[in-house]
């Protein structure tokens, strides 16, 4: 069984990009995340949805902002590329014959019970049904 995230309207939004709330999800009037709680709810045509990154949730979180509080879109900056040393050529490595590594204990194939599909102990007896393998 494969567990995946559910399809959600927030997955279509890109990070730190404002979208009109009415365009991404229709519904009742909502409040701005930055306005005081005493302010009345505003129409979704006047609000912006912005998806922010979250440190522990890979899907991030979405907040609604009014025109006065909508954050500016920040473009990611490319890291500066600096070269401190000149490229030097290395001598080619000598080809050696390597011996294969021993398989990890998790990679070893062990005997399985044909009826219960569980691993059989070293004695060769199934711990569930008692059949001898």
Query: Using the 8-state DSSP alphabet, how is residue 20 labeled?
Result: E
d(CA 114, CA 38): 68
Residue 59 has a pLDDT of 85
Question: What's the structural domain count of the chain?
Answer: 2
- SS3 string of 42-109? ECHHHCEEEEECCCCCCCCEEEEECCCCCCCCCCCCCCCCCCCCCCCCCCCCCCCCCCCCCCCHHHCC
Query: Which residue range(s) make up the domain with 126?
Result: 108-133
Residue 83 has a pLDDT of 56
Mean pLDDT by 10 residues, the chain (133 residues): 67 89 91 92 93 88 92 63 59 67 69 83 84 84
Q: Residue 102 domain-assigned?
A: no
Q: Residue 94 domain-assigned?
A: no
State the pTM of this model: 0.51
Residue 38 has a pLDDT of 92
Q: Residue 120 domain-assigned?
A: yes
Residue 115 has a pLDDT of 84
């Amino acid at each position: 069984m494969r567990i995946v995230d559910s399809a959600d309207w927030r997955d279509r939004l890109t990070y730190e990009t404002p979208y009109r709330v009415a365009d991404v999800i229709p519904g009742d009037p909502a409040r701005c995340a930055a306005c005081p709680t005493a302010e009345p709810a505003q129409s979704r045509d006047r609000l912006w949805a912005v998806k922010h990154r979250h440190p522990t949730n890979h899907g991030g979180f979405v907040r609604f902002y009014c025109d006065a509080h909508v954050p500016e879109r920040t473009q990611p900056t490319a890291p500066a590329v600096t070269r401190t040393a000149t490229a030097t050529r290395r001598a080619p490595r000598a080809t050696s014959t390597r011996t294969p590594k021993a398989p990890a204990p998790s990679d070893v194939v062990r005997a399985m019970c044909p009826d219960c599909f569980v691993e059989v102990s070293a004695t060769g007896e199934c711990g569930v049904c008692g059949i001898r393998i």
